[in-house]
Amino acid sequence: MKAILLVPLIVFGVITVFFAFGYLLTLVLGMPFSLGLAIPIRLFGTLVLFSDFLFLGWLFKYRKPVDIIVSSYVTFLKVRRGDLLEKRLSRTEPLVIEGPYRYVRHPLYFGVVVIIIGWWLILDYSFLLVSAILLLLWFSFVVARFEEEELRAMFGERYEEYAKKVPRTIPFMKRGKK
């Protein structure tokens, strides 16, 4: 029960901070508040938003929202304690590599960024675009790294093989040879 309350509050807080930071950055950089997007582009934002809601529905077919919340809570606890690889608080869900997970390792992060981009297109507030870019960077280079460290500890070679084939946060990005 604690997880179901705490995780959404933390997520809401993080997104709010990124919106505020995006807004301040647009002010500092002297960007216009509105880019003057044409009506067809703004209407396209509605299609982007609708498509993303379908994408998230597809995601929730393979991982229920409550499972995502509980596993996030366990990871938060482990990060806070500094023992991310500790087995005692291990997440118990299986490695999901079907549905949207065939195209992106972190489809929820991608979905959140696309929602913000959709709202940017509809509302034409430049700080939303800046916030989406900052969140994408945060998800890709900070949050996903913590989560993937835990997934590697949980699933070992199976996760390594999966990670070599599937991009981290942006679907259909070609993987480079390492």
Nearest-angstrom CA–CA distance, 135 and 121:
17
Mean pLDDT of the chain: 89
Q: How confident is the model at residue 2 (pLDDT cuts 50, 70, 90)?
A: confident
Tokens 């709010």, residue located: 16
Report pLDDT for 8: 87
Flag whether pLDDT at 39 surpasses 90: yes
**SS3 at position 172:** coil
In whole angstroms, give the CA distance from residue 25 to residue 130: 8
- What confidence score (pLDDT) does residue 7 get? 85
Task: Give the chain's end-to-end CA distance (angstroms, integer).
Answer: 42
Q: How confident is the model at residue 178 (pLDDT cuts 50, 70, 90)?
A: very low
pTM for this prediction: 0.87
Closest alpha carbon to 132 in 30, 37, 7, 48: 48
Residue 31 DSSP code: -
Domain boundaries, the chain: 2-165
What digits encode the pLDDT tens for the residues 73-102? Answer: 877 777 777 665 555 455 667 899 999 999
pLDDT tens readout for residues 134-176:
999 999 998 898 889 888 888 999 999 999 999 999 998 865 5
